[in-house]
A and B are shown apart, each in its own frame.
Chain A
Amino acid sequence: MSGIIATVQAGSGRRHSEVAAEAPWVRATLIGVAALFLGITVLLPVSVVFASAFSKGFTPFWAAVSQPETLSAIQLTLLTAGIAVPLNAVFGVAAAWLVSRYDFWGKSALVTLIDLPFSVSPVISGLIFVLLFGAQGLFGPWLSEHDVKIVFAVPGIVIATTFVTFPLVAREVLAVMQAQGSDEEEAALTMGASGFQILTRITLPKVRWGAIYGVILCNARAMGEFGAVSVVSGHIRGQTNTLPLHVEILYNEYNFVGAFAVAALLASLALVTLLVKKSIELNAALKARRLAQRADHDRRSLVPSSLRPANALHPSPAPAPNTGH
């Protein structure tokens, strides 16, 4: 799941054997099975979302999307993601730096804790905050005394969303940092760079693409979270209603066009997320190829041509053909 960029770089440029290959009909069958499986389980439902949203044309779609309650849900969703994503992005870089650069006591326990929100049911993620901040919760009496409302209000939605999405940036950045190592950072340190300079001039540019994908994915999940937010929100229309909760309300009111119209907005967000991922992968693959080419070139031109034997294998210092692939 994590570390797409690390995976792409490792996996590029493999050679397939002719001896150990399947018969053409086996290939065709396997491709057919894979396409049919993903077609029925993924492509069909996603197409249905858009087909249902526009089933009665563009006007009902637009009417559902521009309804005041939808607009307030969009606003709340943007606000929630706007708080949760930056918090988790800063945490993600700090945690990835910590885990990839140092060995310390309790490291694997810390990594397990960072991953924990992934394996907790979203419903339980919501429940723990109700138990913490709700009327009968641990801090409930204190909060009601000071007239602070967290659960069944906007702060609860933000906190639950932050909890649910909190490993996403850390995981992506960590995978890239671990794959790249810290040689450049250590070199910069010996040349007298400060910690802040190392972070902003070396590490962040290096992990840029992993961090961007982590942030985009974190954003998609933050905007789409349903279970945890549903438990803490209290479903107050126009006040504590995020887009996914609004989908549920419209659906339960048998307003199917409206429900699918809002769902189409969220599905577009998911599609954009995947588009970004694809372009980052392509970029990483291109860069890996260019790096390999340059390394190839450097190796050959390391010895000045005047010192080379006359009948050298590669007499010209021109860029070598891309033989590595």
Chain B
Amino acid sequence: MAKSSFTLRRRGVLPGFGLTLGYTVFYVGLLVLLPLFAMVLKASTQGFSAFVHAVSDERALAAYWLSFTTALAGAGINAVFGVVVAWVLSRYTFPGKSLLDALVDLPFALPTAVAGIALTAVYSENAWLGGKLLSMGVKVAFTQLGIIVALTFIGIPFVVRTVQPVLEELDTDVEEAAALLGAGRLATFRRVILPSLAPAILTGFALAFARALGEYGSVVFISGNMPMKTEIAPLLIVTKLEQYDYAGATAIATVMLGASFLLLFGINLLQRWARRAEA
């Protein structure tokens, strides 16, 4: 096996280091690094002023803003209800619990196009729920609210599945101590439980936000896709591609990719913090 002259490998006696390292690096390089490199190359060859122009035109700015705000709203809704769902699933036993538990994972397994047409069908004007909401003056389909509904749907597993294991591992002794010292349940939750859940909630929120920022399939059906109004950034990339504006599409994609990298970095930091909080 690989006996490297420098300290590439520090620990581990099992065989297979050279083989698995070589294979993994080759596969990741071919499938991830090379394409990303090609994209950055493409973006950099079109000239700086053209890039700035494509990235900062009015329609692009509106699309970033819409993607950012709706993703934030969707992740925010999930941060609140996700904690409730995680709490109920990890603390209580009740009939239908395993159905509820299974529903949480469904958005992760359901194809986004299916989610898109299903949500549109639920919230369109002539559907039961969509009609009810419309008679109350709330229009969901083909508005920004519709985008938020779709982004909430796809983000559901992230907060629940990040918070749930932490909640299950949490020592109830501290809660009992708080109760015996006279703290009410709400005060115990706010002062004792919430602080230890905070890293997990934030991580789940960031994961849901990152996913929502790039989401395409579930949104295009319900959003109506009106430029400046309900056109999210991934859709703008597709529109530019369909007009053979490869440079423009690449420029916007580069901005989105930069945002994803920043988020990934932030999520890594959050997870490190969460691990330290657990220990």
Given A124-B39, A128-B35, A128-B39, 6 other A-B residues pairs in contact with their CB atoms under 8 A: A22-B185, A33-B81, A48-B122, A49-B121, A121-B214, A189-B14
Task: Determine whether the beta carbon of A27 is less than 8 Å from that of B92.
Answer: yes
> How close is B4's CB to chain A, nearest CB, in angstroms?
9
A45/B118 in contact, CB under 8 A: yes
Main secondary structure of the interface of A (DSSP, over half): helix
**How far apart are the CA atoms of A284 and B2 in the complex, in Å?**
36
B169 CB within 8 Å of chain A: yes
Residue of A nearest to B193 (CB): A20
In the complex, A59 has a CB within 8 A of chain B: no
Question: Once the chains are docked, how many angstroms separate the CA of A138 from the CA of B81?
Answer: 46
Whether B10 pairs with A104 at a CB distance below 8 angstroms is yes
Most buried by A among B114, B214, B238: B114
Q: What residues make up the interface of A, taking CB atoms closer than 8 Å to B?
A: 1, 7, 10-11, 14-17, 19-23, 26-27, 30-31, 33-35, 37-38, 40-46, 48-49, 52, 91, 94-95, 97-98, 101-105, 108, 110, 112-124, 127-132, 134, 136-138, 159, 162-163, 166, 182, 185-186, 189, 194-195, 198-199, 217, 220-221, 223-227, 230-231, 243-245, 247-248, 251, 256, 259-260, 263, 266-267, 269-271, 273-274, 277-278
Question: Min CB distance, A236 to chain B, in Å?
Answer: 14
Q: Which B residues are closer than 8 A to A by beta carbons? A: 7-17, 19-21, 23-25, 27-28, 31-36, 38-39, 41-42, 81, 84-85, 87-92, 94, 96, 98, 100-115, 117-119, 121-122, 127, 129, 149, 152-153, 156-158, 161-162, 164-165, 168-169, 172, 175-176, 178-180, 185, 188, 207, 210-211, 213-217, 221, 233-235, 237-238, 241, 246, 249-250, 253, 256-257, 260-261, 263-264, 267-268
CA distance A127 to B215 in the complex (A): 14
B113 close to A248 (CB less than 8 A):
yes
Across the interface, name the chain A residue whose C-beta is closest to B233: A121
CB-CB nearest in chain A for B15:
A195
The answer on a CB contact under 8 Å between B153 and A42 is yes
Judge whether A122 and B165 touch: CB under 8 Å. Answer: no
Query: A259, B117: Cβ atoms under 8 Å?
Result: yes
Q: Is the CB of A16 within 8 A of B8?
A: no
A97 vs B87: C-alpha distance in the bound complex, in angstroms? 34
Q: Contact between A127 and B253 (Cβ–Cβ < 8 Å)?
A: yes
B163 CB → nearest A CB, Å: 12
Contact assessment for A41 and B153 in the assembled complex, using a CB-CB cutoff below 8 Å:
yes
Do residues B165 and A34 form an inter-chain contact, with CB atoms below 8 A? no
Q: Determine the chain B residues whose CB is within 8 A of the CB of A116 once the complex forms.
A: 32, 264
Q: Which of B20, B27, B106 contacts A270, CB < 8 Å?
A: B106
User: Which chain B positions have C-beta within 8 A of A243?
Assistant: 111
A41 touches B152 (CB 8 A): yes
* A–B Cβ pairs within 8 angstroms, 5 of them: A14-B168, A34-B87, A48-B118, A94-B24, A224-B109
Quick check: B110 and A267 within 8 Å, CB to CB? yes
